[in-house]
Chain A
């Protein structure tokens, strides 16, 4: 199962690079949304790998609350752009 984690880290590097090199705020938001999903799925894989239920709970929390926070942040950014 270790190869899965390695490939996932490689996939995670793409949005991290994008968030680092692009200055447009919406492109950054997109990259952040991708990073949030990918890391939470990685946490779930690690929790199954280690057979640890509690790590998995953290992954599911990030999946639901993290996306909600990104949605609120997008609305705040839009309001700021309107001002």
Chain B
């Protein structure tokens, strides 16, 4: 039961990864790509880590640390990249 749940979460995470990374190949603006990437990459990665957490609950301190740093860093990095690329960049 738990095994199925964790595989389901990992598969959902992989789908999110492809969904968010695919727009990178297109010819859209940086901000469009940044939005899709930061939203679905973070959600997909968090779902994969939760799936791993269900698989091996013994390593929870490490995996919770990974979850926290994903949640905080990817949102902050999204803001910083957007801020830096729109001011002074040549392709705002």
Q: Which residues of A contact B (CB under 8 A)?
A: 4, 7-8, 11, 14-15, 17-18, 24-27, 29-31, 33-34, 37-38, 40-41, 44-45, 47-48, 51, 53, 56-57, 59-60, 63-64, 67-68, 70-71, 74-75, 77-78, 81-82
Is B62's CB within 8 Å of the partner chain A?
yes
Q: Is A14 in contact with B25, judged by CB distance below 8 angstroms? A: yes
Bound Cα distance from A77 to B41, whole angstroms: 24
Q: Are A70 and B62 in contact (CB under 8 A)?
A: no
B14 touches A4 (CB 8 A): yes
How far is it, in angstroms, between the C-alpha of A14 and the C-alpha of B42 when the chains are bound?
16
Interface residues on B, range: 35 or more
Q: Which residues of A contact B77 (CB under 8 A)?
A: 33, 67, 70-71
A26's contact among B18, B24, B30, B48, by CB below 8 Å, is which?
Answer: B30
Contacts A29-B81, A44-B63, A51-B56: A18 and B24 contacting too (C-beta < 8 A)? yes
In-complex Cβ contact of A44 among B49, B74, B87, B90 (8 A): B49
Interface of A: prevailing SS: helix
Q: What's the minimum C-beta distance from A13 to chain B, rounded to whole angstroms?
A: 9
A14: min CB distance to chain B, Å: 5
What are 25 A-B pairs with beta-carbon distances under 8 A? Answer: A8-B17, A11-B14, A14-B18, A15-B24, A24-B91, A26-B85, A27-B33, A30-B24, A30-B81, A33-B81, A37-B45, A41-B49, A45-B52, A48-B56, A56-B63, A59-B66, A60-B65, A63-B66, A63-B73, A67-B73, A71-B76, A74-B84, A74-B85, A75-B80, A81-B89
